Amino acid sequence: MLDAFLQGFVLVFQWPTLGFLLLGVAIGIWLGAMPGLGSITGLVLLMPFTYGMEPVAALALLLGLFAVTTTSDTISSVMLGVPGTAASQAVIVDGYPMAKKGEAARAFGASFSVSAIGGVFGALVLALSLPIIKPLILSFGSPEIFMLGVLGLTLVGSLAGASLARGLAVAALGLLIGTVGYAPTVSVPRFHFDQVYLLDGLPLIPVVLGLFALPELLDLAARNTSIARVPGDQARGGGILAGMRDTMRNWFLALRCSAIGTYVGMLPGLGGSIVDWVAYAHTVQSSRDKSQFGKGDVRGVIGPDAANNASLGGSLIPALAFGIPGSLGAAILLGALVLQGVRPGPEMLAGNLHITFSMVWSIIVANVIASMVLLIWARQVAKVAFLPGHLVVPGVVLFVLMGSWLSSVSLGDWITCIAFGVLGYLMKRGGWPRPPLVLALVLGAIMERSFILSVRVHGGYGWLERPVVLIILALVLTTLVATAIGFRRVRRQPVPVMREGEGMQGDARISLAMSLALFGAFIWAAVTSLQWSAAVGNFPLGIGVVGAVFAGATVVAGTRDLIRTPRVGWRAWAEVQMLGPAAVFFGYLGALVLLALLVGQKIALPVFIALYLKRWGGYRWRVAAAGAALGWLVLVGFYDRLIRIFFMQPVLEEQIRSLLPGWVPIWLVI
């Protein structure tokens, strides 16, 4: 085995393999930092270029990209409060508050340095675990996968916010949204409202970008402030080096969370979705001082990012050893192996062990290089936090909408993004946590399939008596009890605790309105589910009943809070909650959608940028025109010419064609 390990090292550092690895790293850094793109887009784009390449070089190219997107996706999590991937949600809980305090550089220093630790740790565990990991993986069947999903939702519901009932109600809402479209086992559509777009379910990326990005952009636009709420010369907490020192100071936490990330990440189809929340829960629970979590505690960045990067090695363990992908990215890499004539499974541990270890070395080298590059650039990236908000908003809107568009290349993606932007605004103002909704949407289909399969295979609910299931159930109950006790202690403190962060404080009126709306939605969903067969309706029926219980508890608590809240006039209340700016902001976006429908995105988005900078930002036409031109270059150069996406076919396409001179290519404007 040692000979194969060293042979794999030599293969990676041969030319042109090393060149392909560096190319993959460069592309991965860029895609990971762009909202809505990420590793899956990059792997799909690069796959055709691997035809005819040597196996080690092809895998180095793909792994170079795959390994580093979980490092660079921290940029959007910290700067915009938008999780770059489903596995980086927990980073926003403390990363974005650090950016608001002017400590984005410190967050980057901690994140990028610990990402190298996590990535290298996960790769080494991958190398050591391949021969011995089979019993652990085979011990997890559909019952254990379902219960792990329940544990993940319990963790995020209890950690993201100041109310356990709100967190769990939001998690139930995410599961309910995940049932939209065809049922996983029977071709019966559910909750689709006769819309063809909804038959395949709501795409994840528009939901995430709308839920997290648009409310933050609205806040920047309405307040005309930078991401950092303090001037650059008043920012405290240090920069890149301070973040690196934080990582060294918390080295044992980084190693523990790397181990968590590796072994949770190997669970097929599930581990990568919950790994950051498991690590964040461990970080909070193992810390003596918990007062700063959610307000910008650097440990809340170190723990999830270490686990997030280590999970890559974990996800490849079942893929290489048994041909069972632990994530969608691992599934694409399996496809690349097959294209190269390499068969995943026992053969990877025998005749092709040197290729397996070349993959390990590719992950190690990619993580180290990406971390070094990002640490060098981090100081410049962090300066964006101090730019005027009006210069940031229109550019980010472009990336958010185009990132949403990549999901299914449909106008419905934009409508979904904006609709969830409105929901995200209401949740933020009402003090409802948003991460549980996204995680539940990711886990919903996996949990439903596992639940149905468990019931069918075991002829009922006897699977609840399996040893691993009982252990996970005990962890769920322990989490609920410990969280409830913690919230009770906080409420009993004689001096009110100032709460900040996701789902920590909100307006009583908006919160109660959301409680009532959720309660009604769960009741309606449960009643509607009764008309379907058991295979189709049992899962949404259970969600509706459980969700109604949690939502009902929030109605009671919300009514009590509203009674205790001092009376404020409706006009003053609307001004505090920024209802006017919110209506204008979402009105801008609605007008943008209509304009794109008429003339296409390559015209509509630059027009939006120009009008926003001029009318809302108050800049001169020269600045507005420059911003519009830059946006047009991104649309044409990056999205059209480079990644070759399909753009919207506008209603006025023929009229636009007739106005263009014959020598002007039509792809410049449509």
- Side-chain-side CA neighbours of 347 within 13 Å: the count stands at 7
Instruction: Give a yes or no: residue 594 inside a domain.
Output: no
Instruction: Give a yes or no: residue 252 inside a domain.
Output: yes
pLDDT at 45 over 50: yes
pLDDT at 652 over 80: yes
Instruction: Give a yes or no: residue 578 inside a domain.
Output: no
* Domain shared by 111 and 203, yes or no: yes
pLDDT at 669 over 50: yes
> Stretch 587-598: mean pLDDT, rounded?
94
Between 280 and 162, where is the model more confident?
Answer: 280
CA atoms of 313 and 599, how far apart (whole Å): 46
Convert the pLDDT of each residue in 217-240 to its tens digit. 898 888 877 776 666 555 555 678
Query: Within the chain, how many helices (H) and strands (E) appear?
Result: 29, 2
User: Which domain covers residue 546, as residue numbers?
Assistant: 516-558
Instruction: Give a yes or no: residue 45 inside a domain.
Output: yes
> pLDDT value at position 60?
85
CA atoms of 297 and 246, how far apart (whole Å): 11
Instruction: Give a yes or no: residue 620 inside a domain.
Output: yes
pLDDT at 635 over 50: yes
* Domain shared by 454 and 541, yes or no: no
Reduced DSSP (H G I as helix, E B as strand, rest coil) percent helix, strand, coil of the chain, to 5: 75, 0, 25
Maximal CA-CA distance, the chain: 76
* Domain shared by 323 and 408, yes or no: yes
* Domain shared by 97 and 125, yes or no: yes
> pLDDT value at position 609?
95
Instruction: Give a yes or no: residue 7 inside a domain.
Output: yes
* Domain shared by 640 and 537, yes or no: no
> Stretch 495-517: mean pLDDT, rounded?
73
> pLDDT value at position 153?
83
CA dihedral (349, 355, 357, 359) positive or negative: negative
CB of 347 within 8 A of CB of 358? no
* Domain shared by 502 and 527, yes or no: no
Q: Is the peptide bond before 268 cis (omega within 30 degrees of 0)?
A: no
Which pTM does this prediction carry? Answer: 0.84
CA atoms of 238 and 422, how far apart (whole Å): 35
* Domain shared by 194 and 86, yes or no: yes
> pLDDT value at position 496?
45
Which residue's entry shows tokens 């190690």? 364
- The token duo for 46 is 């690069």
Domain count, the chain: 3
* Domain shared by 155 and 197, yes or no: yes
Instruction: Give a yes or no: residue 339 inside a domain.
Output: yes
Convert the pLDDT of each residue in 397-439 to its tens digit. 998 899 888 878 889 999 999 999 999 999 989 889 888 888 8
* Domain shared by 115 and 157, yes or no: yes
CB of 511 within 8 A of CB of 430? yes
> pLDDT value at position 310?
84
* Domain shared by 140 and 234, yes or no: yes
* Domain shared by 79 and 226, yes or no: yes
* Domain shared by 478 and 538, yes or no: no
> pLDDT value at position 352?
67
> Stretch 636-650: mean pLDDT, rounded?
87
Which residue's entry shows tokens 């990336």? 399
Range of weakest confidence among 385-389, 491-495, 625-629 = 491-495
Instruction: Give a yes or no: residue 576 inside a domain.
Output: no
